[in-house]
C-alpha cells in the first residue's frame, strides 16, 4: 500500500470506526471486546484490498456481517464463561428510562443466538430491507422473514419488560382510517 492509500485508510478508520464499532458490538451481542475483535478483523481485510475497494464502508460492513455469519456456523462455537461486570464506582446511577431500556435490550440481545441477533441488527439497526438482508446472509427472503419473526418473538419472551419501558405499541403505529368504503351499484 502506498503512502496515499495509507493516509486514506487512516482517515477512513478515524472517521468511521465509531459507527462501525456500534454495529459490531450489536452483532456480537453487546460484548464490546468481541465487537472490537470483529471490527479489527474486518479492517485488516479491508486494508489488504484498500486500493481495489470502491465503497469502503459498504465493504467493511459486508465483512462484519459475513464474519458474524461464519461465527454462528462454526461446528464448535467458542464457549466463554459470562460473568457480571463489576459495578462502576464514583458515578451517580443513571435513573433515566433510556438507560434502563438500553440495559434491558442489551441483556436480551446477549441471550439471543448469533443468527437471531444478526437478523435483528441488519433489519432494525441497519434498517436494511428484507431482500438486502437475504443477499448479505446468503438465504431467501422467506428465511429472513421467518427468522425475524422468531427472533422478535424470542426477544419479547426474554424481555417482556421492554413493552413496559418503551412507548406503547399503539403509539408506535401510524393511525389508519379503516372507515367503510361506499359501494355504488
pLDDT tens, residue by residue, 76-134? 555 555 666 765 665 665 556 777 777 888 888 888 898 899 999 999 888 999 999 99
Helix axes 130-137, 141-158, angle to 10 degrees: 100
pLDDT at 168: 46
Q: Which residue has the cell 418473538?
A: 153
- Tell me the pLDDT of the chain averaged across its residues: 80
Diameter over CA atoms, the chain: 77
Name the percent of the chain lying above pLDDT 90.
Answer: 38
Q: Which of 59, 57, 50, 60 is nearest to 3 (CA)?
A: 50
- What's the pTM? 0.53
Amino acid at each position: 500500500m502506498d503512502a496515499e492509500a495509507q493516509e486514506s485508510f487512516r482517515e477512513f478508520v478515524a472517521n468511521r470506526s465509531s459507527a462501525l464499532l456500534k454495529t459490531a458490538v450489536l452483532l456480537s451481542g453487546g460484548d464490546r471486546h468481541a465487537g472490537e475483535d470483529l471490527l479489527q478483523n474486518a479492517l485488516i481485510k479491508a486494508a489488504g484490498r484498500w486500493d481495489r475497494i470502491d465503497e469502503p464502508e459498504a465493504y467493511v460492513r459486508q465483512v462484519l456481517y459475513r464474519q458474524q455469519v461464519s461465527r454462528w456456523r462454526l461446528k464448535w462455537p467458542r464457549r466463554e464463561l459470562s460473568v457480571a461486570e463489576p459495578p462502576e464506582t464514583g458515578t451517580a446511577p443513571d435513573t433515566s428510562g433510556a438507560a434502563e431500556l438500553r440495559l434491558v435490550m442489551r441483556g436480551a440481545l446477549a441471550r439471543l443466538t448469533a443468527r437471531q441477533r444478526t437478523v435483528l441488527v441488519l433489519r432494525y439497526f441497519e434498517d436494511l430491507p428484507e431482500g438486502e438482508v437475504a443477499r448479505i446472509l446468503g438465504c431467501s427472503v422467506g428465511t429472513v422473514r421467518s427468522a425475524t419473526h422468531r427472533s422478535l418473538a424470542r426477544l419479547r419472551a426474554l424481555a417482556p419488560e421492554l413493552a413496559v419501558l418503551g412507548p406503547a405499541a399503539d403509539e408506535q403505529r401510524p393511525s389508519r382510517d379503516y372507515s367503510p368504503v361506499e359501494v355504488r351499484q
